[in-house]
Amino acid sequence: MRSALRAATRLALIGSMMSCGGPYATPPAQTPSAPTTPTDVADVRGKWTGTVQGTNLSAQSVTMDVVQTADCVDGAWNTDADQWAGAISGYAAKGSFSGLMTFERVAGGPRCTAYGNVAGEVTGTSLRWTSIDALTGDCPADTLPQAVVLTMHRQ
């Protein structure tokens, strides 16, 4: 729970950079009712579990909590080992997602951050997103995650 709170807090701090306007970007004055998702948009909301891996990033178990309003998707993720955490923000279309994913190393090496574009498929129960280009950030070059693949299943 503490990891999810840390990830949500980080997402709020970077919300102005990447958010498409979801609740993580600007805390609401009151709890909103559950948004509806149009039928031509993938429903990505909810809790997800799976793995994240890439060059210089061994496969790690990950959890992600996602909120969505229409096609706008925002969320926070963290590895189960609390080594990495970050945020996602982007847009869902029927069967797909494209957006930005941030990474912050919080343990297991020097603290650093990175971000990059990701895209991929979404079904009712699974998603698989890959980085489109090289991640950019202040992580040492030999530890900067590259060729990232996020594979998850809805909880």
pLDDT tens per residue across span 6-35? 444 444 444 444 567 544 444 444 455 555
pLDDT tens across 107-124, in order? Answer: 988 899 999 999 999 998
Q: Write down the pLDDT at residue 34.
A: 54
User: Three-class SS of residue 111?
Assistant: coil
Q: What domains are there in the chain, each with its CATH number?
A: 2-26+38-154 (2.40.128)
pLDDT tens, residue by residue, 62-111: 999 999 999 999 999 999 988 999 999 999 999 999 999 999 999 988 89
Number of CB atoms found within 10 A of residue 56's CB: 16
Return the residue matching tokens 């959890």.
63
CA distance 149 to 139: 18
pTM of the model: 0.78
pLDDT at 50: 98
Token pair for 72: 């706008």
List C-alpha distances in Å: 35 to 8, 22, 38, 45.
19, 11, 10, 9
